[in-house]
């Protein structure tokens, strides 16, 4: 059978996109995958041999993640698709904008001219465009995905857009965040976004929130809005938004990116699934890189963000087949896409038959993933970049282990570092000298903590240190005279 591996997992499968493997059941195929790709076992299965909860298994377009399906036999033409969290519809539906609000909306002559392309579409027409003007949309994230979503919804004639983002524009943002320019570097993203919207549609009401969502403000941020668009880039915020929308009943348009791959779906529409139905738990750091760690080809946010804006407009106008209960997955590198089913989970803690989550709680990602130290744990000792630079200059006997991805090391290599991926540490621990200090490095100093804990669990007793702040903290100190930049 052919097994299609999502981009976020390919590093554990020797960068293969499609693997042809013998086996006519999911169970046999997974066993063969673990035999042929030992490093993949850690990312697919936990220490008890159970499939990790952020992994979904599809056969063709149907969800067969539940282990009860793993003995079912399939044919040679069937395809298995592995999808991790990085991450229906009828032709005729009701709009999420009521007729009362639509009837209260009017156009002047300039607006009729401006929205002429929509007015000519039979499915949208005057009524649909009035619903667009009456709509209230909140967008979390004014970065790569937010850039096309914000601009297309403003250009489409949305009445009110709220933009929530705590960050400032950085030079590295400009490659795929087309909302911003060099003149915006150092400015809050929401301020830059507001200026761009004003140039597109001056009648649009723009509300900006230069803040980080948390359990205390998330419901206020979305209160009174018709639809929420998740354009964020971290699991903590995604779970906050997902839970808040499920609890308040607001439809959520979700998009995610990684390198060349993106996904789009709609959560919380009518009786459809919520975010936790699809991804009950996030992956631990280091198992699935974020787009910040893994990079993204610059046009991909435009592709995925445009589809997200399209889904928002279909929800508002009540037209077409939407991605509720379905997820569109696009691989721009190999030019293929598929739509897989996303089912509501009766055991979901938010929207299931017996929910256990009734209010939004802050999701402590580091605590969940075991990166925080408890009182009974041996603390992970850190070393500052300045101290490491001194030890290197003094010629101290140390071992430096780089756990970053190959493409990260291609940008800036760390001098004299030994490369060992996290998934290989346990079986390669004999390559380390327990009589000297071993220092672990990654991009920001988080995956290296996971690496140290992994070796501890494997029984390694040598002294281990985490480079505080990772390569980002060290590049101007350790690497400043090494010619390490590409």
Catalytic residues: 291, 442
Q: Phi then psi for 219, rounded to 5 degrees? A: -70, -35
CA distance 422 to 251: 38
| Long-range residue pairs from 166-169, CB within 8 A, at least 24 positions apart, any chain | 166/210, 166/211, 166/212, 167/143
Interior angle at CA 427, CA 423 and CA 430, nearest 5:
130
CA distance 468 to 381: 9
Q: Phi then psi for 252, rounded to 5 degrees? A: -125, 120
Is 180 in a helix, a strand, or coil? coil
Task: Provide Rg for the chain, Cα atoms.
Answer: 24
Which CA distances in Å does 364 have to 6, 235, 376? 26, 10, 19
Is 194 in a helix, a strand, or coil? helix
Give per-residue burial for 48-81: e unless 16+ CB within 10 Å, then b: eeebbebbbbbbeeebbbeeebbeeebeeeebbb
């Amino acid at each position: 059978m052919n097994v299609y591996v999502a981009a976020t997992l390919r590093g554990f499968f020797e960068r293969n996109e499609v693997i042809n493997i013998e086996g006519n059941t999911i169970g046999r195929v997974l066993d063969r995958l673990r035999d042929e790709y030992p490093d993949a076992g850690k990312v697919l299965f936990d220490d008890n041999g159970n499939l990790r909860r952020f992994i979904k298994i599809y056969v063709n377009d149907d969800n067969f993640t539940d282990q009860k399906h793993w003995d079912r036999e399939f044919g040679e033409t069937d395809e298995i698709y592995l999808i991790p969290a990085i991450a229906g519809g009828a032709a005729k539906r009701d709009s999420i904008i009521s007729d009362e609000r639509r009837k209260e909306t009017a156009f002047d002559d300039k607006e009729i001219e401006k929205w002429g392309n929509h007015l000519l579409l039979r499915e949208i027409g005057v009524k649909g465009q009035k619903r667009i003007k009456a709509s209230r949309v909140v967008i979390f994230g004014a970065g790569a995905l937010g850039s096309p979503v914000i601009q297309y919804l403003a250009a489409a004639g949305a009445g009110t857009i709220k933009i929530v983002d705590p960050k400032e524009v950085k030079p590295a943002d400009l490659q795929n965040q087309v909302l911003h320019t060099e003149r915006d570097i150092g400015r809050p993203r929401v301020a830059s976004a507001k200026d761009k919207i004003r140039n597109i549609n001056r009648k649009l009401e723009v509300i900006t929130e230069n803040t980080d969502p948390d359990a205390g403000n998330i419901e206020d941020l979305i209160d009174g809005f018709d639809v929420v668009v998740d354009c964020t880039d971290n699991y903590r915020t995604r779970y906050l938004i997902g839970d808040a929308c499920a609890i308040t009943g607001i439809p959520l348009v979700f998009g995610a990116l990684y390198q060349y791959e993106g996904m789009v779906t709609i959560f919380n529409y009518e009786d459809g699934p919520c975010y936790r139905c699809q991804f009950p738990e996030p992956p631990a750091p280091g198992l699935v890189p974020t787009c910040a760690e893994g990079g993204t080809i610059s046009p991909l946010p435009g592709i995925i963000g445009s589809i997200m804006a399209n889904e928002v407009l279909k929800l508002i106008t009540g037209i077409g087949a939407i991605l509720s209960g379905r997820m569109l997955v696009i691989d721009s590198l190999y030019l293929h896409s598929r739509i897989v089913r996303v089912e509501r989970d009766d055991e979901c803690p938010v929207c299931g038959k017996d929910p256990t989550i009734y209010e939004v709680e802050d999701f402590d990602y580091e605590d969940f993933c075991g990166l925080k130290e408890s009182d009974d744990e041996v603390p992970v000792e850190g070393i500052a970049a300045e101290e490491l630079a001194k030890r290197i200059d003094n010629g101290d006997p140390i071992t430096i282990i780089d756990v970053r991805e190959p493409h990260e090391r291609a940008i800036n290599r760390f001098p004299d570092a030994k490369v060992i991926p996290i998934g290989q540490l346990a079986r390669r621990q004999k390559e380390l000298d327990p009589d000297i200090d071993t220092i672990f490095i990654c991009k920001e100093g988080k995956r290296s903590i996971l690496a140290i804990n992994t070796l501890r669990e494997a029984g390694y007793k040598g002294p281990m240190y985490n480079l505080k702040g990772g390569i980002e903290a060290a590049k101007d100190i350790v690497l400043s005279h090494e010619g390490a930049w590409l």
